[in-house]
């Protein structure tokens, strides 16, 4: 396989055929993200992509595929359609293809383009939200404010694709902790994705956020501060349709998997109890956290 640099994929795509179509991220400015810092964004040539699809298809009968890296939707729709058509021809058992969807890239697609992608097999889009608070999004240079994220989310849902979103606990620092948690909960409720995942910030040495932290300009909430954010977020997350919520990523202190709205109050009660007890033994040890 012609994998260049770090090839990342959502945890739920662990058993998918991973085909690297682009390298890096076209935005590459988020202050917390170190994944592609040294990597220039580019589109791999079609011959290489086809070779990778051939190789993967000969190895295993995959049911799902994921087109990496950070921003495949930025490519012309015809190019993505061509790649997906080849993939489905070589691996007819693949019933769902997924991509990461940068907000700007989603908005650029017309409803007709999104419908064509859906018809060709694009079944799920993973959108990194990080926060629903405008000031937090400005500070972390996410490149998209809440109203644009909402616009993109609705486009994906209207096209009939599954929408999976992630947010980041702690990304507002102690200064904006409450605003971040409350606004993010409301934002997720408004967008009501099919899947929502809360990760916890980890400070990576090659990032701007780390430099701010080292200079004392950014203070990370402590473990229970993170859990309090999660609590506030869920209290405000009044989804309009079923949403499977997780905070079981390796970066999180307390694993949660729940179906909202049904189990929302149960999760809030659990978080309140863990925060009340203040017992670190109930949380994942620091050395076991990872990205």
- Which positions lie near ligand SF4, rule CB under 6 A? 25, 27-30, 33, 35-36, 70, 102, 128
Task: Give me the least distance between CB of 140 and ligand SF4, in Å please.
Answer: 8
Q: Taking the complex as a whole, how short is the minimal distance between the CB of residue 37 and ligand SF4, in angstroms?
A: 8
Q: Least CB distance from residue 13 to ligand SF4, whole Å?
A: 15
Cα separation of 152 and 108, whole Å?
9
Burial of 278 (0-12, 13-18, 19+ CB in 10 A): exposed
Q: How far apart are CA 83 and CA 243, in angstroms?
A: 30
Q: CB-wise, 72 or 226, nearer to ligand SF4?
A: 72
Q: Kindly tell me which of 8 and 282 has the beta carbon lying closer to ligand SF4.
A: 8
Q: Which is nearer to ligand SF4, 36 or 218 (CB)?
A: 36
| Cβ-based nearer residue to ligand SF4, 36 or 62 | 36
What is the spatial distance between Cα 192 and Cα 162, in angstroms, rounded to a whole number?
11
User: β-strand 17-20 against 96-100: which pairing, if any?
Assistant: unpaired
| CB contact at 8 A, 246 and 195 | yes
How far is the C-alpha of 70 from the C-alpha of 126, rounded, in Å?
10
CB of 275 to ligand SF4, least distance (A): 28
Q: Which is nearer to ligand SF4, 9 or 50 (by Cβ)?
A: 9
Q: In angstroms, give the least distance from the CB of 187 to ligand SF4.
A: 17
């Amino acid at each position: 396989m012609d994998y260049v640099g770090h090839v990342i994929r959502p945890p739920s795509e662990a058993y998918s055929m991973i085909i690297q179509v682009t390298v890096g991220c076209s935005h590459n400015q988020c202050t917390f993200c170190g994944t592609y810092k040294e990597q220039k964004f580019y589109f791999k040539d079609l011959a290489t992509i086809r070779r990778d699809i051939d190789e993967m298809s000969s190895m295993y009968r995959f049911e799902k595929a994921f087109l990496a890296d950070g921003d495949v939707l930025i490519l012309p729709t015809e190019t993505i359609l061509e790649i997906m058509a080849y993939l489905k021809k070589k691996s007819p058992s693949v019933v769902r293809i997924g991509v990461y969807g940068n907000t700007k890239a989603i908005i650029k697609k017309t409803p007709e383009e999104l419908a064509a992608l859906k018809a060709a097999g694009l079944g799920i889009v993973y959108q990194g939200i990080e926060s629903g608070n405008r000031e937090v999004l400005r500070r972390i240079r996410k490149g998209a404010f809440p109203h644009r994220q909402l616009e993109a989310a609705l486009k994906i849902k209207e096209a009939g694709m599954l929408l999976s979103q992630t947010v980041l606990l702690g990304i507002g620092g102690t200064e904006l902790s409450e605003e971040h948690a409350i606004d993010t909960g409301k934002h997720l409720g408004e967008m009501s994705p099919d899947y929502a995942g809360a990760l916890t910030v980890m400070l990576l040495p090659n990032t701007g956020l780390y430099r701010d932290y080292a200079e004392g300009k950014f203070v990370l909430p402590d473990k229970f501060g993170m859990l309090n954010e999660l609590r506030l977020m869920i209290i405000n997350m009044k989804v309009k349709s079923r949403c499977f919520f997780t905070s079981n990523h390796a970066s999180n202190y307390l694993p949660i998997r729940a179906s909202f709205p049904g189990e929302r109050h149960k999760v809030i009660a659990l978080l309140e109890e863990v925060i009340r007890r203040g017992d670190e033994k109930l949380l994942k040890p620091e050395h076991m956290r990872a990205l």
